[in-house]
Amino acid sequence: MLEALKRFFSGRPAPVSRELDPQVAAAALLVEAALVDGVYANLESDQIAEILIDSLGLEAEQTDEVLRQGEELAENSTGAHEFTTHVKKLPLLERVRVIEGLYLVSLADGAACKFEDAFIRHVASLLHVDDIRRAQARRRAESRHS
C-alpha cells in the first residue's frame, strides 16, 4: 500500500489491471490480512503457506511461488477490491475457506485486533460470503488455532 501512495504522489501511473489467478489473488488477500497490524512475521507467512495447501488445494511445489506473487501484489496494492474481483470467481465453498484462512492469519500472531476483524468483514462482503458463513468460518479458525 505504501508503494501505491508513493506512486500517487509521484505522478506515476497506477499499474494496469490484469487478469489474476484466483489463488494468487487469495494469497494476496491473506498477506494483506497479515499486514493490517503493521507486522508481517514468518509465523504469518508459514500460516499462509499452510492455508494455500490445505484450503485452496495447492501442491507444495506451487505454494512458494504463489505466496511470493501474493506478497508482491499485496505490497503494491491499493486495496482488497482489486483481489476480491478475482477471488469471487471461486465457488462459494472455496471463498468461505479463504475467509477462514483470513481468520487463521489474524490469529497467527496470538490475537486478532479490531482492524483485522474489520478487514475480514469487508472482504467477506466483497466476496459475497454472508454473515452466517463468515461467523462459522471464524469459529472453525478459532477452534483450529486453539
**Backbone dihedral angles phi then psi of residue 135, each to the nearest 5 degrees:** -65, -40
Residue 2 has pLDDT above 70, yes or no: no
What mean pLDDT comes out for the span 67-84? 92
Residue 96 has pLDDT above 80, yes or no: yes
pLDDT tens for residues 99-121?
999 999 999 877 778 899 999 99
Question: Which DSSP category does 62 fall into?
Answer: H
pTM: 0.85
Amino acid found at 131: D
**Backbone dihedral angles phi then psi of residue 64, each to the nearest 5 degrees:** -60, -45
Residue ranges and CATH numbers for the domains of the chain are: 21-145 (1.10.3680.10)
Q: How confident is the model at residue 16 (pLDDT cuts 50, 70, 90)?
A: very low
State the CB neighbour count (10 A cutoff) for residue 58.
20
Q: Of 84, 65, 88, which Cα lies nearest the Cα of 17?
A: 84
